[in-house]
Amino acid sequence: MERISIELCREYMKRFGQVLHHNIDKALLVAGQVEKGFGRGRVIKPMELIIGDRASFGTAKSKVPVVDIARKTVRSWFRENLPHVDPVKHVKIRTVLQPGSEELTDIFRRDGRVRGANDTSAAAGYAPLTPTERAVFETERFINSPAFKLSFPEAGEDVKVMGVRRGKALGITVACPLLALSIKNEAAYFRKKREIYASLMDFLSGFPFSKVTLNLNSLDIKGQGTRGVYLSLLGTSAEDADSGQVGRGNRVNGVISLNRPMGTEAAAGKNPVSHVGKIYSILSHRMAEEVYLRVEGLKEVSVWLLSEIGSPIDEPSQVYIQAIPAKRHDAAYIRKSALKIIDEFLSGLPAFTQELSRGEHPVC
């Protein structure tokens, strides 16, 4: 959905010189149905991707092919990110996008240096990532890296990682499907699982923990055949097990941290120039990171932003910063320095929203 927003922004800029109203953040991926076993499998029913919410279809003189752009983008994204999925045969695309409401589209007709906020919304960000958060984040990236897939082409892309720290020890649980067509029998599955386990343990040894415990595909049971192993035909559980929805996944910094300030907005696909649910979600993390890096002596920084619908996005109704010092500190220095950085970000919002429209900041 984020990619569709980016492609629409590109088309709007080319035709009209500005990003028009759209929100492509209401989408549902309905799981399909497959039949699979060791060394075999077939798709019985394709997945269905329902793309909903709002988009500007242009003017009478210049129509924007919104549906065509959405379909083309979906197929391109699947080819790049889920290489075992044929986006024509394995995914049915249903587009139910409609024009936006009059009061929200009017925001894009108003003059001003920046757009008015299209919602009253709050967002929170923090920095830095803890060692546990980094371990979780980087483990998934490691498994889905080209180098790992070269070493283990049997590994699917639908990877989930949970981490919990107990004192100085880290517990990691990883779900990573193995491709049915590449695994000939149960013995081959558990042999390959042992190899992947060893690779992951070697990778995790680089993090600062006294002990690391790894559980890989915890539901596996030997002697149960295909019922006791995590096989996938297409590399994603959406083939027959799990449906998906925008917002049912990582926050904009790539993890879900239950002990941290957390917003509830789903950023992917939201309008990058007026939807504060997206803009402030990403901006708050970037603000927190910059304060942490530039203000000396801080252990942790959190930033909360609140918008008021209709007000310029560079004028939030509330900015709240929590800075936790690592040692004895000068509160006045921290406050003055942090506020200066926040002001820099707010004054640079026009450029930041253009970066968002080009997809320069990840949203998951």
pLDDT in tens, 300-355: 999 999 999 999 999 999 999 999 999 888 899 999 999 999 999 999 999 999 99
pLDDT confidence band for 104 (50 / 70 / 90) = low
User: What is the domain partition of the chain in residue ranges?
Assistant: 2-105, 122-128+257-357, 131-245
Cα pseudo-dihedral 52, 357, 245, 196, rounded to 10: 150
Q: What is the mean pLDDT of the chain?
A: 95
- 2-105 CATH choice from 3.30.300.10, 3.40.50.300, 1.20.1530.20, 3.40.630.30: 3.30.300.10
Which of 42-56, 92-106, 197-211 has the lowest average pLDDT?
92-106
Sheet harboring 22-30: ordered strands across? 91-95, 47-55, 22-30, 244-245
Q: Once rounded to an integer, what is the mean pLDDT over residues 74-93?
A: 97
Helix (H, G, I), strand (E, B) or coil at 76: helix
Yes or no: say if 171 and 163 are a contact pair by the CB < 8 Å rule.
yes
pLDDT at 42 exceeding the cut of 90: yes
**In which region does residue 310 sit, left (phi positive, over 0), alpha (psi from -120 to 50) or beta (all else)?**
left
Q: Is pLDDT above 80 for 174?
A: yes
* CA–CA distances in Å: residue 356 to residues 36, 118, 277: 40, 16, 13
Q: Do the domains spanning 122-128+257-357 and 131-245 agree at the CATH topology level?
A: yes
Is this model's pTM higher than 0.85 or not? yes
Q: Which helix (H) or strand (E) element contains residue 354?
A: helix 349-357
Q: How far apart are alpha carbons 34 and 240 in whole angstroms? A: 6
Integer-rounded Cα radius of gyration of the chain = 23
159-170 pLDDT per residue, tens? 999 999 999 999
Q: How far apart are CA 39 and CA 22, in angstroms?
A: 44
Confidence at residue 101, expressed as pLDDT on a 0 to 100 scale: 72
Could you give the percent of the chain with pLDDT greater than 70?
A: 99
pLDDT digits (tens, 9 = 90+) for 123-169: 999 999 999 999 999 999 999 999 999 999 999 999 999 999 999 99
Long-range contacts of 174-177 (CB under 8 A, 24+ apart): 174/139, 174/143, 174/200, 174/214, 174/215, 174/216, 174/217, 175/217, 175/218, 175/230, 176/143, 176/216, 176/217, 176/230, 177/230, 177/231, 177/232, 177/235, 177/236, 177/237
Q: Taking residues 21-26, report their average pLDDT.
A: 93
Residue 106 reports pLDDT greater than 90: no
Tens digit of each residue's pLDDT (9 = 90 or more) over 179-210: 999 999 999 999 999 999 999 999 999 999 99
Residue 103 pLDDT grade (very low, low, confident, very high; cuts 50, 70, 90):
low
What's residue 111's pLDDT? 77
CATH value of 131-245 in 3.20.20.70, 3.30.300.340, 3.30.300.130, 3.40.50.720:
3.30.300.340
Q: How confident is the model at residue 175 (pLDDT cuts 50, 70, 90)?
A: very high
CATH class, domain 122-128+257-357, is alpha beta
